[in-house]
Structure 1
Amino acid sequence: MNRRNSILAKVVICLFALNSLTLYVYFHPSTGSHPRLPVGNHVDRRSNFYLKPWPILPSYLPWTENSSVRHNSCEAYFGNGFTRRHDLLRPRGGSGWFRCFFSETLQSSVCEGGKVRMVPERIRMSKGGERLEDVMGRGEAEELPDFDDGAFEIDGGGGRSGELGLGFKRGRKLVDGEFLNNYVPEGGISRHSMRDLIGSIRVVGSKEFVCDQWIKEPVLLVTRFEYANLFHTITDWYSGYVSSRVTGLPFRPHVIFIDGHCKSSMEETWNALFSGFSYAKSFNGSVCFRHAVLSPLGYETAMFKGLTEHIDCKGASAHDLWKEPDDQRTARISEFGEMVRAAFGFPVNRYHREKTSSSHKVLFVRREDYLAHPRHSGKPESRLTNEQEVFDAIKTWASNHLDCKINLLNGLFAHVSMKEQVKAIQDASVIIGAHGAGLTHIVSATPKAIIFEIISSQYRRPHFALIAQWKGLEYHAMNLAGSYANPAEVVDKLQDIMKSLGC
């Protein structure tokens, strides 16, 4: 025990030192690091947002830029595989800057820039952030952004004869179609909003770069599509987390939604994971950012691409990967799951939930009626037609189980806060449920949790088997001939799982 405590103490000291070094590099950069933006007299230096520190995570591994990351390796898919760097605009005499880091594996870029101006009136979309009840029936097209030229601009400095840094002329677009095709390809995405945003950026002279408001803290620009669906929202959270780490942000950034979606229950976690959020259309007049990071779409993450690509990665502990690197194993999904738990204030020590075989919590993740978005009927499609019957059978079995105490949790999540949902996931020894977005919460499950998915014939999709694999969780599936599950068979399978836990 003393030896383990000594190792843990050394890990904590190393993480503290790494964080201190990150802060130093960010605010005292040298060539090749994140440039510190010179601030003129017209810039409001007051803090606009309070930024949260990064929590210490047991599964954390450094996110250093490493050109030796192998194509299609686990780190290339889930970590910092953004190894091809392209500087489009370098700072000159207090001007702005912009660059992108491209991933050959994911075929997407994390981009960032300084002295970036957003002009909300040049972004055509609904305001966003409204109450759901006030916008029922609104079309999705109204909520997604269309960018006029100059919706975003960068200070290109002074220059002679109308030319700015790197030969740019005033008012010229930052990128052309060739750059977009090489660094922000459309891929299979029919409407690539981040590509369109970058395509709208103009380089302007310092005299034209006039701002109604300045934000000096780093901001993360995010466009959401399926914003009320947990699976798709988790891909957005993951993309935002990766982008923040890849660009070396010393604190959790403030998020700005470049979309016009109304409020949803997911905002609770956006607020917990990051340092708050705002809607682009909520700003009055132009707003300038000292440091803006553009997060790739959730569709471009490995969590989504794994549904159609073969990503042969297994979950492993960061400690094991420190001792023995293996590019076919990853701790990144576990790291992200710990980030979610830590964001809500829950313990993330890998050993905090050692249980005896005398008591276990079994969480049944349920589906129930709720109104998700303006185009939703309020009735989710059933994946298990006799869900209540199955739950009742498990409840009866658990109450009569004498080998150990089993607490069955009724996971009706639709009307429960996200914090309570994450806590239920964290406390569960076994997580059971029909295929549905709610099971995506297993990203936050502890390392010894066991997953039992009931899969109807209409929804044979690998979402949760893959997440369990990438986290290194034990996973069981019951494939149904239709959408009806024999309660006795479910109980028998669950009983076998509990026996493996000594119960």
Structure 2
Amino acid sequence: MAFNNYCSKLCMQYRHRRRRYFLLNLFVITLCLCAIFPFKYHIFQLSPSKPLPRNSSFSDLLRKEMTLNCTGDPLTTWCAAEMKYCNSSLLIYKNLFFLTRSAILQTIHAEGKRVGGEQIQAVLNQAENDEYFHFKKDFLQIPCNASLPRGITLQYHLSKILSSITSYQTSANADLIVNESTIAVNRHDYANIYHTMTDLYTAYILCRFFQRDPKSVRILFLDAHPHGNLDVYWSKLFHSYSRLGHLKKYSKILYHEIIWAQPQAQSDIDVQRHRKQTPSFFADFRQHMLKQFHADSTATRTVNCESLQIFYLGRRNYVAHPRNPSGKVTRQLPNEKQVLETLQKKFSGYSKLNFTYNYFEQLPIEEQLQTIARTDVFIGMHGAGLTYVTMLKPNRALVELSGPSWQSQDHFQQLAIINQVRYRQCAIQDESPTVAEKIFDCTKEKVLELCPSIMT
């Protein structure tokens, strides 16, 4: 108290001091402020280094049974295929994904040429293989007094990570401790909204399965991809994301819980699943995403036939990843400008139809989602952008424009089914002078399904 009184008195008398005492008094005042207002230093809310307890101190955590959410498909089958090892420090689900508790990551055993997060212009033409780590033995350690599992087959990178597991039996020191639940994701086509959406849904449904709040869960990228425009989805839908390559300055990291997500190809909304019904919590996933970007997240099936919103998504060249430095985008209408002018003129003849178009390549994601959320009929060329059919309200419509070479692809028809959206494939010939007329007819068909008397 006396020290604080001295500081206060010194501050009041400061202006009467001589100039030669200026620096000395300033230094003392700084010390006073530090004494009165102590502060703490935080780095990304991650705990500083401290000793790991012995295995016995983990017993309560490891013996604690998790309450899983087994609602719907595929969660029911995941629950039924749970395998526990090493006092529940390792749990494997349907040979798709696994969870580790009180696990140590030894980053030196993740070998790679890149760390990830670089600007695209700095890594143009780099080999795709340079954007992945190779996981060696001892990369992942768990507290285990029993024999580690053998003969379990997981796919892609998870097989390597599972094979890298060794046990630690005694106390160890961690350079970093992460207390929050973490989902480890190894992305492939990170710059493609279709593959990004499948990964996002996987991470979200894992949160629901383990009953974790998505906004409290951290994402750990196991890849070394450069920075991409779609990375913001991860920081918006979840607590935050970090890159394994950026954590290599720490030799040992203790994670209290890591969920090792299944590869993108095994996502439950990937085309290879051939889904004909909506998977667990998909409507909640849509709502969660739209809310994070301040878009209309309601799911009303009622269509406003007094003002029907028709949106055409165009395609422009842009550089999305290092292996396409020219930014050339395929599947573009060569006469798109003329087609759009014709469509604009045709739809303008109906007072209750509002036809608009735009390009998403340079548009902020928030505006992209807001546009889709208010769309009733969505038109676009076959391509990743049609993934946004998952963000339409149910009982809306997608018109997919398909050239001869990709008419057999049903990616977006499946996504439309999952989101309970009407679908129409519109076969077109790029150079045909009747392309605009064909698109108009296909769109008119879906418009009349939604609002039978709107064009009379």
TM-score (norm 2): 0.78
Q: Distance in 1 between matches of 2:338 and 2:430?
A: 16
* Match of residue 99 from structure 1: 91
* Match of residue 494 from structure 1: 443
Q: Does 1:144 align with 2:93?
A: no
* Match of residue 474 from structure 1: 422
Specify whether residues 212 and 242 from structure 1 end up closer, same or farther in structure 2 by C-alpha distance, changes over 3 A only: same
Specify whether residues 345 and 242 from structure 1 end up closer, same or farther in structure 2 by C-alpha distance, changes over 3 A only: same
Partner-residue secondary structure (3-state), 2:96 = strand
Partner-residue secondary structure (3-state), 1:248 = coil
Are the aligned partners of 1:365 and 1:413 in contact in 2 as well (CA < 8 Å)? yes
Residues 349-388 of structure 1 correspond to what in structure 2 (within 5 A)?
349-351=298-300, 356-376=304-324, 377-388=326-337
Specify whether residues 440 and 63 from structure 1 end up closer, same or farther in structure 2 by C-alpha distance, changes over 3 A only: farther
Instruction: Return 5+ residue gaps in structure 2 as ranges.
Output: 1-48, 54-66
Are the aligned partners of 2:178 and 2:256 in contact in 1 as well (CA < 8 Å)? yes
Specify whether residues 363 and 268 from structure 1 end up closer, same or farther in structure 2 by C-alpha distance, changes over 3 A only: same
* Match of residue 212 from structure 1: 175
Match of 1:423 among 370, 378, 383: 370
Q: Distance in 1 between matches of 2:414 and 2:368?
A: 21
* Match of residue 10 from structure 2: none
Partner-residue secondary structure (3-state), 2:130 = helix
Code of the aligned partner of 2:169:
G
Write the deviation string for residues 386-416 of structure 1: whole angstroms up to 9, x where unpaired. 33332221111223323x141x332300111
Shift of 1:344: 1.8
Specify whether residues 63 and 291 from structure 1 end up closer, same or farther in structure 2 by C-alpha distance, changes over 3 A only: closer
* Match of residue 275 from structure 1: 239
Shift of 1:383: 4.6
Shift of 1:490: 1.4
Match of 1:400 among 340, 346, 349: 349
Code of the aligned partner of 1:363:
F
Shift of 1:134: 1.0
* Match of residue 129 from structure 1: 117
Write the deviation string for residues 88-124 of structure 1: whole angstroms up to 9, x where unpaired. 2116xxxxx111111xxxxx42311111111222211
* Match of residue 42 from structure 1: 51
Q: Does 1:340 align with 2:309?
A: no
Deviates more, 1:110-119 or 1:331-340: 331-340
Partner-residue secondary structure (3-state), 2:418 = helix
Deviates more, 1:285-294 or 1:432-441: 285-294
Q: Distance in 1 between matches of 2:263 and 2:290?
A: 23
Shift of 1:360: 2.2
Are the aligned partners of 1:429 and 1:449 in contact in 2 as well (CA < 8 Å)? yes
Specify whether residues 290 and 331 from structure 1 end up closer, same or farther in structure 2 by C-alpha distance, changes over 3 A only: closer
Q: Distance in 2 between matches of 1:345 and 1:437?
A: 23
Residues 54-65 of structure 1 correspond to what in structure 2 (within 5 A)?
64-65=69-70
Specify whether residues 251 and 234 from structure 1 end up closer, same or farther in structure 2 by C-alpha distance, changes over 3 A only: closer
Shift of 1:331: 6.0
Write the deviation string for residues 40-89 of structure 1: whole angstroms up to 9, x where unpaired. 97369xxxxxxxxxxxxxxxxx97237xxxxxxxx445x44212111121
Are the aligned partners of 1:211 and 1:288 in contact in 2 as well (CA < 8 Å)? yes
**Higher helix proportion, which one?**
2
Residues 98-247 of structure 1 correspond to what in structure 2 (within 5 A)?
98-102=90-94, 108-125=95-112, 126-156=114-144, 165-166=145-146, 168=147, 174-176=148-150, 178-179=151-152, 181=153, 184=154, 186=155, 192-207=156-171, 209-247=172-210
Code of the aligned partner of 1:271:
S
Aligned-pair Cα RMSD in Å: 2.4
Q: Distance in 1 between matches of 2:369 and 2:339?
A: 23
Specify whether residues 459 and 198 from structure 1 end up closer, same or farther in structure 2 by C-alpha distance, changes over 3 A only: same
Aligned length: 383
Write the deviation string for residues 254-281 of structure 1: whole angstroms up to 9, x where unpaired. 1010010000011111111111100011
Are the aligned partners of 1:334 and 1:444 in contact in 2 as well (CA < 8 Å)? no
Q: Distance in 1 between matches of 2:274 and 2:266?
A: 15
Are the aligned partners of 1:360 and 1:429 in contact in 2 as well (CA < 8 Å)? yes
Write the deviation string for residues 305-344 of structure 1: whole angstroms up to 9, x where unpaired. x34x543x235xxxxxxxxxxxxxx564333222221222
Partner-residue secondary structure (3-state), 2:269 = helix
Code of the aligned partner of 1:225:
H
TM-score (norm 1): 0.71
Q: Distance in 1 between matches of 2:446 and 2:365?
A: 27
Shift of 1:354: 5.1
* Match of residue 26 from structure 1: none
Q: Distance in 2 between matches of 1:86 and 1:483?
A: 56
Are the aligned partners of 2:429 and 2:435 in contact in 1 as well (CA < 8 Å)? no
Q: Does 1:90 align with 2:80?
A: no
Specify whether residues 63 and 148 from structure 1 end up closer, same or farther in structure 2 by C-alpha distance, changes over 3 A only: closer
Specify whether residues 450 and 474 from structure 1 end up closer, same or farther in structure 2 by C-alpha distance, changes over 3 A only: same
Partner-residue secondary structure (3-state), 1:493 = helix
Q: Does 1:81 align with 2:108?
A: no
Shift of 1:154: 1.5
Code of the aligned partner of 2:126:
R
Partner-residue secondary structure (3-state), 1:452 = strand
Code of the aligned partner of 2:98:
C
Specify whether residues 391 and 417 from structure 1 end up closer, same or farther in structure 2 by C-alpha distance, changes over 3 A only: same
Deviates more, 1:240-249 or 1:212-221: 240-249
Specify whether residues 149 and 415 from structure 1 end up closer, same or farther in structure 2 by C-alpha distance, changes over 3 A only: same
Code of the aligned partner of 1:113:
T
Partner-residue secondary structure (3-state), 1:149 = coil
Partner-residue secondary structure (3-state), 1:475 = strand
Q: Distance in 2 between matches of 1:355 and 1:445?
A: 12
